Chains A and B, each alone.
Chain A
Amino acid sequence: MSVIIRKTVPEDFEAILPLLEKFPLPYIKRRHWEKLFEISQSVPEAFPGFIMEDSGNAVGFLGLIFGRRSWNGKTIKTVNTTSWIVLQAYRGRSVFMLTKLLKIQDAVFTDLTPSKEVYSLISRVGFKEFETHNRLFFSLPLPVRNKNRIERITNKEDAQVCLTEDQFALFSDHQQQFCRHLILKAEKGNCYIILTRMVRRKIPFIFGQVQYISHPEVFRSILPEAGGMICRAAGVPVLGVWERYLKGMKIFMSVRRPLPFPMMYYGPKEFENNLDTLYSESVVLNI
């Protein structure tokens, strides 16, 4: 047995695909998985993940989605782990994929959808929880206060006018057809929101999930009507907002749902409040 772990390159896709197809996600097709191997142009050192090989055969994969963000005046890499799979006979070595990952310098690492086993392992190496619940809002016809408006951004020209440089980079990186870009205009100021529209199994309608809120305090200032406004602007009857954006607010006619396992991060605590789900499988695979 000669087992090695190395960085993957896009050409490894064909070797890794049979492993990815072992996930119980029948609605994720080859063309979706291929997106994990498209390298982010905004992070020059990005790569698709780590592969574990035994005598040249792929026996494990840890997918990585890179982003570059400016938080608290510092520019850092975000590295989200995804689609971690290791064949049973090699699981004893899984931790070495994790330790390879943690050697990446100047980065904050996240795992947004850990399985029970992964949650247990990454907790033990020092990952911390940063989100445990999603809050669901519904497209209710609540009265909207006069000065509050919402606008959808659909083209780069408008985006350049109303977004900051950092926000424009997020806009450019999220041009998939299922992404929606909205500007919420309130008395307290403006707030840029990115959400994805997704079809969930067993849910007979399109579901919206907020992935990023530039100014959560502005968003919170016009709750509960902001929920319905965003639903209507994005064309979704139900909208999920991670609870961290709500700071414990009790919100009329909304539902709090626990995640199967908490979202986890590893890195300086000073960035915990800045973490979002923009560079993740939730957006890349639209799941």
Chain B
Amino acid sequence: MRDKLIDFFRHHSSYQPEPDENLFETGVLDSFGIVEFLDYIQSEMGVEIPVDEITEDNFSTIDNIIRLIKEHC
């Protein structure tokens, strides 16, 4: 899953983030990116994240996103 996510972000921002790197501070993720990313994990993994859990903490690093996705798998 980690490789898939890193690929998504590399494709989205032309930058390969480390799993614990802050995606906002590095500019890898922005508001439109999050919406695209939510579409991506819904279509590719069948995972729907409730609006309650779309928070900066949950999306700040790839590790946090993986944890979040696993909770909803």
Q: Which of B31, B36, B39, B51 interacts with A92 by CB under 8 Å?
A: B31
| Secondary structure of the B contact surface, majority rule | helix
Asked whether any CB of chain A lies closer than 8 Å to the CB of B30, the reply is: yes
Asked whether any CB of chain A lies closer than 8 Å to the CB of B35, the reply is: yes
Q: Is the CB of A121 within 8 A of B52?
A: no
| Count of chain B residues near A, Cβ 8 A | 17
Asked whether any CB of chain A lies closer than 8 Å to the CB of B45, the reply is: no
Least CB distance, B36 to chain A, in whole angstroms = 8
Please indicate the chain A residues that have their CB under 8 angstroms from the CB of B33 in the complex: 92
Asked whether any CB of chain B lies closer than 8 Å to the CB of A91, the reply is: yes
Q: Is the CB of B27 within 8 A of A125?
A: no
Q: Which of A1, A91, A95 interacts with B54 by CB under 8 Å?
A: A95
Binary contact readout A90-109 vs B (1 if CB under 8 angstroms, 0 otherwise): 01111110110011000000
- Can you name the residue of chain A whose Cβ is closest to the Cβ of B57? A96
Please indicate the chain B residues that have their CB under 8 angstroms from the CB of A120 in the complex: 32
The A63-119 residues at the B interface (CB cut-off 8 A) are 91-96, 98-99, 102-103
- Can you name the residue of chain B whose Cβ is closest to the Cβ of A120? B32
Q: Which of B39, B51, B56 interacts with A93 by CB under 8 Å?
A: B56
Q: Is the CB of A1 within 8 A of B51?
A: no
Given A1-B25, A3-B56 in contact, is the A95-B34 Cβ separation under 8 Å? yes
Asked whether any CB of chain A lies closer than 8 Å to the CB of B14, the reply is: no
User: What is the interface of chain A, defined by CB distance below 8 A to chain B?
Assistant: 1, 3, 91-96, 98-99, 102-103, 120-121, 124-125
List 19 A-B residue pairs with CB atoms under 8 Å apart, sorted by A's residue number.
A1-B25, A3-B56, A91-B31, A92-B29, A92-B30, A92-B33, A93-B56, A95-B31, A95-B35, A96-B56, A98-B31, A99-B51, A99-B55, A103-B51, A124-B32, A124-B35, A124-B36, A124-B39, A125-B35
